[in-house]
Amino acid sequence: MSDFDCVIQGRIVRADRVIDRGFVAIRGGLIEHVGAGAAPAARERHDFGSALVLPGAIDSQVHSCSQKGQEGFDWSTRSAAAGGVTTIVDMPYDDGNLVCTAERLSRKAAMAGAAARVDYALFGTIRPQDGAAHIDEMAAAGAAAFKFSTYETHPERFPRIPSAVMHDAMRAVAPHGLMVGVHNENDEAAREFMRRVEASGATDWQAHGRSRPPITETLAIAEVYELAADTGCAAHIVHCSLGRGYDMAAAYRAQGVEATIEACIHYLVLSEEDDVARVAGKAKVNPPIRGRAEREALWRHLAAGNVTVVSTDHVSWSEDRKTDPNMLRNASGVPGLEVLVSLLVQGLLDRGLPLTWAARLLAANPARLFRIGHRKGALELGRDADVTVLAHRPGVYDPAASGHNRVGWSPYAGRRLDHRPAATFARGELVYDGRDVVGRAGRGQFVRPAGAR
């Protein structure tokens, strides 16, 4: 008689240590034992030799529904499974459906549940005119966090939340123990710098960075953390491209503020000189990708423990939205779910940093951030058996070749990847076998934060 449903063997990477010749034993979709040496009997056994066995990645920032008729949860979670991401946290800025009430959040959760191949948590947000009116009901409906913006991308789909309204909202969120994540660009400053660049006639690959210089970020970061200090709300910067931003977060934490901060993988991998110059609109993001010096500053902060989580800010715009010769007219955002884990591990190995950072930044820390650590984020007893297996499979990334992406373009196309997913398990079920996504659409579950009804 088998002791367990499934045993996964390999080089176990946890947030605190690496276990060579280790195993993860699973029963009923949960982890029941992690150990070293001879593995126990199981109905199903997967021996991956020297491959890395990591806790399933949690992508803290995904936009599955930003463009109608484009990606959706079927495609975003297909890419996630193929990339070793077992939980996505989806943003509330859907095309035609700002997720700003409990009814809209519940409707989105049901829609995602019919299509998702991996598990998902959801951000809620507010409309400026509603203020904090719907915060309590969204928290009760299972919002894992709230997302606001200091910059107005679009007045209806992605509105700016004025400072006083954000203060009210943070004060309403704080009693729920949830986090508020904020898009960190000062609206007034960004619009003035954009006006100046447009007036100059510049439209090339450098125009976007010039239109949103570093001060637009740091002004917004200071505002967000000051609001957090005054309200007692946990505040999170959802994407920071500047070393100074991580200095600011560390300084506020030293003052007792729950100040966390996120490095998107594009800021750790790409640079303005090398990549924006090469692919222009296909590397346009907000805040912009900066130069090599800032990229290396972010890696120093990562090594020092000043980066809370690493995410993708994934969005699969149709190619026509990313190829306008005028850099300023392109949509902002890039796909990255299929390569998040591979790119971060590549960067850690290239810089001689411990592999344990991957387990912290992609699993343990995101689980704490979204208050889902009771289920997710670690290869530990009682957690969901979410497991990413990364094998040494050198090759060049071609986003059009795998068939797991809604679009065939990526700013990472042509990049060398030494380690790629050999298998992904979500709650003990194989959802990616190293070549094909085998998890069915609709098997993903809505993950609520601990304590949510």
Using DSSP bridges, classify how beta strands 85-90 and 416-426 pair: parallel, antiparallel or unpaired: unpaired
Using DSSP bridges, classify how beta strands 57-62 and 85-90 pair: parallel, antiparallel or unpaired: parallel
* Residue 453 scores a pLDDT above 50: no
Q: What is the pTM of this model?
A: 0.98
State the chain's mean pLDDT as an integer.
97
CB 29 within 8 A of CB 68: no
Q: Side by side, which strands form the sheet with 30-36?
A: 30-36, 18-27, 4-13, 42-55, 387-396, 416-426, 429-432
Half-sphere exposure of 139 (CA within 13 A, CB side): 20
* Residue 1 scores a pLDDT above 70: no
H helix or E strand, kind and range, residue 151: none
Q: Determine the Cα–Cα distance for residues 261 and 274; give it in Å rounded to an integer.
A: 25
pLDDT tens, residue by residue, 256-278: 999 999 999 999 999 999 999 99
pLDDT score of 452: 55
Residue 223 has which token pair? 């505002």
Q: In this prediction, what percent of the chain has a pLDDT beyond 70?
A: 99
Q: Determine the Cα–Cα distance for residues 443 and 121; give it in Å rounded to an integer.
A: 14
Domain boundaries, the chain: 56-369
Q: What angle do CA 312, 313, 316 make, to 5 degrees?
A: 100
The domain 56-369 is placed in CATH, from the list 3.90.190.20, 2.40.50.70, 3.20.20.140, 3.40.190.10, at 3.20.20.140
Q: Over range 235-252, report the average pLDDT.
A: 98
Furthest-apart CA pair in the chain: how many Å? 75
pLDDT tens, residue by residue, 129-166: 999 999 999 999 999 999 999 999 999 999 999 999 99
pLDDT tens, residue by residue, 189-209: 999 999 999 999 999 999 999
pLDDT tens, residue by residue, 381-416: 999 999 999 999 999 999 999 999 999 999 999 999
Q: Determine the Cα–Cα distance for residues 235 and 229; give it in Å rounded to an integer.
A: 9
* Residue 61 scores a pLDDT above 60: yes
pLDDT score of 265: 98
CB 100 within 8 A of CB 126: yes
* Residue with the two structure tokens 């109608």: 68
- 10 Å Cβ neighbour count for 255? 9
Per the document, the length of the chain is 453
H helix or E strand, kind and range, residue 39: none
Tell me the sheet residues that pair with 46: 8
pLDDT tens, residue by residue, 348-365: 999 999 999 999 999 999
CA–chain centroid gap for 233, Å, is: 21
pLDDT score of 340: 98
- Cα separations in angstroms, 98 against 42, 92, 150, 157, 171: 46, 6, 16, 6, 21
Using DSSP bridges, classify how beta strands 4-13 and 42-55 pair: parallel, antiparallel or unpaired: parallel
Q: Determine the Cα–Cα distance for residues 322 and 338; give it in Å rounded to an integer.
A: 19
Q: Smallest Cα–Cα separation from 63: which of 285, 320, 355, 363?
A: 285
3-class state of residue 389 by DSSP? strand
pLDDT score of 3: 85
